[in-house]
Amino acid sequence: MRLAYIDYHTCGEPVRIVTSGYPQLTGAGILDKRRQAREQHDDLRRAMMLEPRGHDGMYGVIPVQASHPEAAFGVLFTHNEGYSTMCGHATIALGRYAIEQGLVEATEPVTRFAIEAPCGLVRLTCEVEGGKVGDVSFESVPAFVEARDLVVPVPGYREIITDIAYGGAYYCILPASRFGLDLMQTPIEEIVAAAGALTDQVRASRRIMHPTEPDLGFLYGTIVTDEAGPGEDSFNLCVFAERQIDRSPTGSGVTARMALDHAKGLIPVGQNRRIRSVTGGTFTGKVIGPVDFLAAGAVTVEVGGRGHLAGEGSFVIEADDPLGHGFALPKRFAEIAG
What's the rounded Cα separation, in Å, for the pair 325 and 327?
7
What's the rounded Cα separation, in Å, for the pair 112 and 310?
24
Give the chain's radius of gyration (CA, Å): 19
Under 8 Å between Cβ of 297 and 255: no
What's the rounded Cα separation, in Å, for the pair 310 and 15?
9
Burial of 203 (0-12, 13-18, 19+ CB in 10 A): middle
Q: Which residues contact 286 (CB under 8 A, 6 or more apart)?
A: 258, 269, 270, 271, 272, 273, 301, 302
Nearest to 254 by CA among 264, 262, 244: 262
Domains located in the chain, CATH noted: 2-139 (3.10.310.10), 144-299 (3.10.310.10)
This prediction has a pTM of 0.94
- Which run of H or E residues covers position 40? helix 30-40
pLDDT score of 338: 64
What's the rounded Cα separation, in Å, for the pair 267 and 292?
20
87 tagged catalytic: yes
What's the pLDDT tens digit per position in 140-184? 999 999 999 999 999 999 899 999 999 999 999 999 999 999 999
pLDDT score of 8: 98
146 torsion bin: left (phi>0), alpha (psi -120 to 50), beta (else):
alpha
pLDDT score of 230: 84
Across 212-238, b (16+ Cβ under 10 Å) vs e yields eeeebbebbbbbbbbebeeeeebbbbb
What's the rounded Cα separation, in Å, for the pair 321 and 300?
47
What's the pLDDT tens digit per position in 122-132? 999 999 999 99
What's the rounded Cα separation, in Å, for the pair 223 and 144?
15
**Which of 87, 119, 126, 172 is flagged as catalytic?**
87
Phi, psi dihedrals of residue 93, rounded to the nearest 5°: -65, -35
pLDDT score of 194: 98
Q: What count of other Cβ atoms lies within 10 Å of the Cβ of residue 139? A: 17
Which ranges of the chain have pLDDT less than 50? none
Nearest to 150 by CA among 186, 203, 113: 203
